[in-house]
Structure 1
Amino acid sequence: MENSSRRKFLRNSALAAAVPAAVMPEAAPKELFVHHVYFYLKNPGSEADKAKLLEGLHKLKKVPTIRFVHIGSPATTNRSVIEKGYAVSWLCFFDNLEEEEVYQKHPIHLKFVEEYSHLWEKVIVYDSVGPKI
């Protein structure tokens, strides 16, 4: 590597490392709360029931404290450690536990449970917290 290229690389790396500290507000969330739900339908082969549940989840993603949502179905991967018995997964991220608690009590969430819970036989929830990276 040429000396000038190396110096340029080092200077740019130092600038890139300093920028996040300079532009990140102090109030930026330091924690991330992850809420992952797996829905097992009463009628697992029913595309109509799955479509209805997806309809409800698309309404649910409007809760304002949710930062990111992913709605998914089992992938076609095939390894012994993979659970594929669920119909739909609901993965959402919050800035912290308090924001997730607001979601749990939010009228949109309560209405979702009321209107769509008849579709599922079982729900498994994995909640986790950790530093925001």
Structure 2
Amino acid sequence: MKNRRNFLKRSAAGLGFISLPFLSKKTSASEMKIVLQNSYIHHVYFWLKEPKSKEACQRFEEGLQLLVTIPEIKLYHIGKAVLSNRDVVDDSFTYSYMAVFNSKADQDNYQVHPTHLKFIEKYGDLWEKVIVYDAL
């Protein structure tokens, strides 16, 4: 048990150290690239059926929080569309979800993970459209 506690303490300290660049306003793009280099990016855009429904949004966000517990996910970001008057910006989606994996194999495991399948089954009735962009 003592070894497990030490491991958890060291892991937490390491995560704190690793996350410092993300929290600093002085983080440069080149520092971020080091973290994401050679990673598999899975970016999903959702258009909810009722994007103005507070209940639907809360329920969907609950589902996303469940989804990000899948162990293969290295980093993730959940966001909402930002309205823009720029022609090159597509702000028509409701939610953006990005998951970063160490490899395509990890992403493949994520696709068949019971939590991912549960997310689709339990929350799939909330969206009318989904677009996925995957990149290395």
Q: Is this a same-fold pair by TM over 0.5?
A: yes
Cα distance per residue 1:74-118 (max 9 Å; x no partner)? 124431111111111100100110000000000100000000000
- Structure-2 change in CA distance of 1:30 and 1:83 (3 Å): closer
What is the TM-score when the length of structure 2 is the normalising length? 0.70
User: Higher helix share goes to which structure?
Assistant: 2
Cα distance per residue 1:45-101 (max 9 Å; x no partner)? 212111111100001100000000100001244311111111111001001100000
Distance in structure 1 (CA, Å) of the matches to 2:51 and 2:39: 32
Distance in structure 2 (CA, Å) of the matches to 1:54 and 1:83: 21
Distance in structure 2 (CA, Å) of the matches to 1:33 and 1:63: 15
2:74 and 2:100 in contact (8 A); partners too: yes
How many residue pairs were aligned?
Answer: 101
Partner of 1:43: 50
**Structure 2 stretches lacking a partner, 5+ long:** 1-35
Tell me, what secondary structure is at the counterpart of 1:110? helix
Partner of 1:116: 123
Distance in structure 2 (CA, Å) of the matches to 1:43 and 1:116: 13
* Cα offset, 1:31, TM superposition: 2.2
- Deviating 4+ runs (over 4 angstroms): none
2:44 and 2:133 in contact (8 A); partners too: yes
**Structure 1 stretches lacking a partner, 5+ long:** 1-28
* Cα offset, 1:30, TM superposition: 6.7
